[in-house]
Amino acid sequence: MAPYIDDKAVVNGTADDVSSGVQNLKLKNAEPVQVDKGPSYPYYYPYFDINEKFPPTELFEHTDPGLRADPSKPNLLANATTRVLNPYIGTEVLGVQVSQLSKEGLDELALLAAERKLVVFRDQDFKDLSPERQIAIAEHFGPIQRHPTSGNVKSFPEFHVVYRDGQNDRRLPRTQNGLESLTQVGWHSDVSYEKQPPGTTFFWILDQPKLGGDTQFASQVEAYKRFSPAFKKRLEGLTAVHSAVPQANYSRERGGPVRREPVETEHPLVRVHPVTGEKALYVNKGFTKYIVGYKQEESDNLLNFLFDHIAKGTDFHIRANYEPGTLVIWDNRLTVHSATPDFDASQERRHAVRLTPQAEVPVAAEV
């Protein structure tokens, strides 16, 4: 386990015995002092080994588990209560422990995530869920992408760790040109530069601020549906390059790891989902760089229009909020998302782990 070096944690013991939560210490003649005991799950503290290297990602045959699913979802939802959160995106599920699902239940989960784009499970029992079991669940959906630059978990490079607190608040509101930015909102689809970008994706929240720290999601299916038939026709056949290079450079500049040489991959602008057949816009501001065959200004204008459309379409957005025990699952083929870094990291901690199974090579949609 990576050591958690935090002078506030050391007040209550060594860096290794930090457990959970914030404790009130009653000092003589003084108000109670809040002492931060560190992350609730220190095992998942982000681990960086700048010498860690991964081979290039290999192509594989993908059969989506959702294709095997019983559409009535008896293995997933027989004892569940569900609540639709938004007409276009998001369903909340109560009464299901994802860790207990059978293979058939996981197949049905793939289908539900494809249909609803985002599924929010509450009250998950994370304490008894080993990293191996989490990985086994996620591998049902595809080989797990190993992130080239972000914090992972020592001995478990499958995890992508999201972590902010007073000592780890490296997120800078800056653009790729190094200029200050008005906002830290960054819409993206995870690692879309991969040749086989991710599908059903798992995000477990471990520590969350009392208020804020939500994730915003947009439906790329609805974003596409809003276009006129003529504009849809205009997009047909276009491809764009998604690049891992800026992410690798950003990490290198800060002394972080680049575990795999960054790739640049051409994907269709509109893709079709292998299970539902729905068409989704497949560009995102985080990784999509240019449209193949267009001149620079043509590409910039069209991409900026599409990025604006996605960001402004608050009538096909949703915010996933977190409670202890929340697991959020989204289909990266059909959505974009952004963290909402709106809490004071000097006072509160946000800690989560993501497992990101890869899916098929994107298939271009025809109008």
Binding stretches for ligand SIN (CB under 6 A): 162, 190, 215, 337, 339, 354
CB atoms within 10 A of CB 105: 20
Query: Which is closer to ligand SIN, CB of 89 or CB of 162?
Result: 162
Give the angle subtended at the CA of 27 by the CAs of 25 and 32, to the nearest 5°: 50
CA Rg value for the chain: 21
* CA-based nearest residue to 308, from 281, 340, 285, 332: 285
Question: Are residues 326 and 205 in contact, defined by beta-carbon separation less than 8 angstroms?
Answer: yes
CB atoms within 10 A of CB 72: 10
CB of 215 to ligand SIN, least distance (A): 3
Query: Which is closer to ligand SIN, CB of 303 or CB of 336?
Result: 336
Query: Which is closer to ligand SIN, CB of 162 or CB of 302?
Result: 162
CB of 10 to ligand SIN, least distance (A): 27
CB of 67 to ligand SIN, least distance (A): 25
Query: Which is closer to ligand SIN, CB of 162 or CB of 258?
Result: 162
CB of 121 to ligand SIN, least distance (A): 16
**Torsion angle, CA of 341/343/347/353, rounded to 10 degrees?**
-50
E-strand ranges in the chain read 22-25, 33-36, 81-84, 91-94, 118-121, 160-164, 200-207, 215-219, 239-243, 264-268, 270-272, 279-281, 288-291, 317-320, 327-331, 335-339, 350-355
CB of 340 to ligand SIN, least distance (A): 7
CB of 341 to ligand SIN, least distance (A): 8
Helix (H, G, I), strand (E, B) or coil at 357: strand
d(CA 260, CA 246): 13
Query: Which is closer to ligand SIN, CB of 190 or CB of 222?
Result: 190
| Cβ within 8 Å of residue 16, ≥6 positions away | 1, 3, 4
Q: Which residue has the tokens 């449209």?
A: 291
CB of 230 to ligand SIN, least distance (A): 34
Query: Which is closer to ligand SIN, CB of 279 or CB of 337?
Result: 337
Query: Which is closer to ligand SIN, CB of 88 or CB of 287?
Result: 287
Look up residue 314 and give its DSSP letter.
Answer: G
CB of 343 to ligand SIN, least distance (A): 12
Token pair recorded at residue 298: 């043509």
Query: Which is closer to ligand SIN, CB of 333 or CB of 354?
Result: 354
d(CA 244, CA 296): 19
